[in-house]
Amino acid sequence: MAKELASLLGDLIQVDYDAVAGYEAAIERLDDATAKTHLTEFRGDHERHTRDLSMLLRDMGGTPPTEGDFKAVLTQGKVALGGLMGDKQVLQAMKSNEDQTNKAYEDAVAHPELAAETRRLLESNLADERRHRAWIEEHLNSMA
């Protein structure tokens, strides 16, 4: 169980690092000041997730990743391509990214053997992810 949980946490840390990279790419490409403000806040949530999950993994005796994995290239690539087409496309790319982070956290929270403290942290992070996605969806709908 400990090895499986350590792997799960390591994967989530990488997902959050990838999300940070995606948000950085999106923020650079957006003209919409409101979207930039919200995406900057969301990037901060993902940075906090990496710190909190890393501390938890270290407390378990594991070594947390210090950067994202290859998915970061794909995440940034979606946003970079979207940046060529305007704010709406950048936000659509970020919604796709948030769909992935939501799925990763939903899967993690469903793990049957989480300690109460770990479950609370993952549920809190999942709530952040759902809030990010909901805001992006709402903002995209207002752009239509």
Domains of the chain by residue range: 2-143
pTM: 0.89
Burial (CB count within 10 angstroms: exposed 0-12, middle 13-18, buried 19+), residue 22: buried
pLDDT surpassing 70 at residue 40: yes
Q: How far apart are CA 56 and CA 64, in angstroms?
A: 9
| Interval 51-79: pLDDT, tens | 999 999 999 899 999 877 655 555 555 65
Of 37-41, 92-96, 104-108, the range with the lowest mean pLDDT is 92-96
Domain 2-143, what fold?
Answer: Ferritin (1.20.1260)
Q: What is the dihedral of CA 99, 101, 106, 107, to 10 degrees?
A: 110
